[in-house]
Amino acid sequence: MDFFKKYVQQMCENIKEVDTRELDKATTMIIGAAVNNGKAIIVGNGGSAAIASHVSVDLTKNTRVRAINFNEADLITCFANDYGYERWVEKALDFYAQSQDVLILISSSGRSKNILNAALKAKEMGMKLITFSGFDEANPLRSMGHINFWVNNSSYNIVEMTHHVWLLAIVDKIIEHIGEQSSKTELQNTKKG
C-alpha cells in the first residue's frame, strides 16, 4: 500500500476508535460550564496549542461558549520566566480560571510537565478536566481528567489531527444542541401565541 493510502487509513481508524458516549459527556460538560457562567480553557504545546486556538475561537464564535487559550507570546514568556516553564500554565490558571470553568488539556505524549502541573492545579481548584493524549497507553495525563481521550498511535501528526477532529466534533455537537434548543423555544413561543 502506498504511503498516503496507509496514512489516511490509519488516521481514519484512530478517529473512529473514539467512544462517542465520552464525546457526548464532554459536550455536556462544556455546555454545563457555559450555563454556570464558566468558560472553556484549552491549552497545549506546539501543534496542540494551534489546535487549542482553533477550537477556542470556534467555541466562542459559533457556539457562544466563552473559550480562551494561553497562546500569547508575552503571557507564555512572562510566566515561564517568572515561574519556570513547567509551571507557567498552572500559574496562568491562578490568574484566569474559576472553579466553574472546564479545562481541556492537549498533549500528544501525555507527559509534558507544564500540562501535568496544570491538571493538578485544575483538580485543586475544583475545575472539570478533559484530557487528550496519545502515544503510551499508560501516560500520566490519560488518568487525570474527568474525561480522558487517548489516541493509540505514536505519530505526532496522526495523534494531533485525531485530537483536532474529536474537538471540532464536540463544537459541531454544541452547535446542533443550540439549534435544537432554539427550535424548542420557537415551538413553545408559537404555542403561547
- Boundaries of domain holding 179: 19-184
Instruction: Tell me, yes or no, whether 54 lies in a domain.
Output: yes
> pLDDT tens digit string along 156-187?
999 999 999 999 999 999 999 988 877 666 55
Instruction: Tell me, yes or no, whether 61 lies in a domain.
Output: yes
pTM of model > 0.85:
yes
Q: In which order are the strands placed within the sheet that holds 40-44?
A: 67-69, 40-44, 102-107, 128-133, 147-150
Number of domains in the chain: 1
Instruction: Tell me, yes or no, whether 4 lies in a domain.
Output: no
Instruction: Tell me, yes or no, whether 78 lies in a domain.
Output: yes
Instruction: Tell me, yes or no, whether 167 lies in a domain.
Output: yes
Instruction: CATH number of the domain at 57, please.
Output: 3.40.50.10490
> pLDDT tens digit string along 76-131?
999 999 999 999 999 999 999 999 999 999 999 999 999 999 999 999 999 999 99
Burial class of residue 82, CB neighbours in 10 A (0-12, 13-18, 19+): exposed
Instruction: Tell me, yes or no, whether 137 lies in a domain.
Output: yes
Instruction: Tell me, yes or no, whether 109 lies in a domain.
Output: yes
Instruction: Tell me, yes or no, whether 189 lies in a domain.
Output: no
